[in-house]
């Protein structure tokens, strides 16, 4: 049995070209399933349904490899799973058919490329962390406000003469960065019920004060 799968990136795109190609490849109208999802999107309900419907001896038909996998690694993983289940894969426009020696060889080459991609990602990450340590930084996201900027932002805000937007513009950071600092500073102040000194003003937007 032939089961076809097509994908377009948005609801506005027309999958008719893919559907027509699947029909010419012998897939029946009721056996074509279409997802509207971007290439990197994990949720593909129709693909999930297709993988449930496929049985040993069936063939999954697509127009191009990029319609099926989110990445080379995902594509190779799917191909391996299909082979283990005794399911064929036919890629119409790229002439790949895993029921043939040539088709299996193509997927073998994709496996090598996927492994190379994984190793390059690991190597680049390792090199980036080493460069950061050489500059005196550990891994993780770099703070958007320096200590001096954070103190300055708090002083400006407590003085009640500058809005958050003005403070952000002065420091060259987004307003959300200033809000994040002020809210963390407020959360760090112990709640004793009595005023014992300067207490940060709540950073959340409130009526009557410009942001």
User: Which element (helix H / strand E) includes 97?
Assistant: strand 96-97
By C-alpha distance, which of 58, 56, 43 is closest to 1?
A: 58
Coil, strand or helix: which one is 95? coil
Tokens read off for 52: 């449930």
Query: Which residue of the set 9, 38, 99, 198 is catalytic?
Result: 9
- 9: annotated active-site residue: yes
Tokens read off for 46: 């129709």
Catalytic amino acids? 9
């Amino acid at each position: 049995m032939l089961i076809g799968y097509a994908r377009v990136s948005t609801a506005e795109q027309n999958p008719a070209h893919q559907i027509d190609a699947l029909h010419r490849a012998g897939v029946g109208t009721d056996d074509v399933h279409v997802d509207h999802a971007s290439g990197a999107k994990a949720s593909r309900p129709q693909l999930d349904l297709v993988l449930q419907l496929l049985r040993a001896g069936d063939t999954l038909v697509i127009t191009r490899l990029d319609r099926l996998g989110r990445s080379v690694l995902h594509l190779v993983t799917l191909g391996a799973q299909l082979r283990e289940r005794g399911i064929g894969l036919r890629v119409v426009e790229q002439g790949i058919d895993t029921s043939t020696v040539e088709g299996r060889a193509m997927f073998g080459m994709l496996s090598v490329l996927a492994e190379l991609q994984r190793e390059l990602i690991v190597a680049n990450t390792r090199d980036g962390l080493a460069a950061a340590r050489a500059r005196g930084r550990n891994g993780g996201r770099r703070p958007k406000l320096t200590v001096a900027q954070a103190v300055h932002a708090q002083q400006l805000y407590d003085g009640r003469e500058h809005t958050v937007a003005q403070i952000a513009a002065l420091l060259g950071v987004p307003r959300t960065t200033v809000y994040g600092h002020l809210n963390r500073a407020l959360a760090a102040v112990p709640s004793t019920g009595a005023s014992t000194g300067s207490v940060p003003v709540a950073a959340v937007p409130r009526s009557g004060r410009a942001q």
